[in-house]
Structure 1
């Protein structure tokens, strides 16, 4: 009788933990869909294909089209879910989802691609300026031959 109760108790714990885990995974998937993470990832992939097309103009369009067909947001979301599961509690996931459903959260989602794009451009400009400054300093100190 004691074994039966212990077994029943353990099964209850496992079932409870499993259902919470499923619930958390569903909440994470919902959060990623709210934020458009999968769509953004696919957009990045599409931009990579456009870049490859320019680099390899002799490759037939069908080749690139086949790659585009393979890219879907569900695949990316399924890869990201375990990462969110690792770093966020279920409560935090729910709070994030609530935020992204607010007016400020919706604004953040809508303008984030623009913010990221402009930030990358600013970072490239900054990096170029630093690179030029370092190179000019190296030339002045005699570590690099002057032109």
Structure 2
């Protein structure tokens, strides 16, 4: 009888824990779909492929098309879910979902690609200016031979 009770307890505990895990996973997947994370990732991948196409113009279009078929948002989402699971509680995932369903959250989702793109451009310019200044100062102080 004692073994039966322990077995029943363990089965109930494992089932409850597993179903909570699935629920959190489903909530994370819903959040990632809501924010368009998978689609954004695929777009980044497509942009990378476009860069490769320019660098390797002799490669047949079919090669790139076949490669693009392998990239899909579901695969990326499944790779990202464990990261969200690691850093956010189920309650936090639900709060994030509520935020992204609000009017401000929807605005953040719609403007984020533009904000990221413009921020990257500013960051590249800023990084280039810093690099040039460092190089100039190194030359001025004699750490780099003047040309």
| TM-score, normalised by the number of residues in structure 2 | 0.98
Counterpart position of 1:2: 2
Counterpart position of 1:106: 106
Counterpart position of 2:36: 36
Q: Which runs of 5+ in 1 are unaligned?
A: none
Equivalent position SS for 1:145: coil
Deviations 1:97-120, CA, capped at 9 Å, x for gaps: 000000000000000000001111
In 1, Cα distance between the equivalents of 2:130 and 2:29?
Answer: 40
In 2, Cα distance between the equivalents of 1:5 and 1:139?
Answer: 78
| TM-score, normalised by the number of residues in structure 1 | 0.98
In 2, Cα distance between the equivalents of 1:146 and 1:100?
Answer: 54
Deviations 1:27-80, CA, capped at 9 Å, x for gaps: 000000000000000000000000000000011100000011111000000000
In 2, Cα distance between the equivalents of 1:63 and 1:5?
Answer: 60
Mapping of residues 1-147 of structure 1, within 5 Å: 1-147=1-147
How large is the Cα RMSD of the aligned pairs? 0.6
Q: Which runs of 5+ in 2 are unaligned?
A: none
Query: What is the Cα deviation at residue 130 of structure 1?
Result: 0.6
Query: What is the Cα deviation at residue 144 of structure 1?
Result: 1.0
Count residues with an aligned counterpart: 147
Query: What is the Cα deviation at residue 143 of structure 1?
Result: 1.1
Structure 1 stretches of 4+ moved >3 Å: none
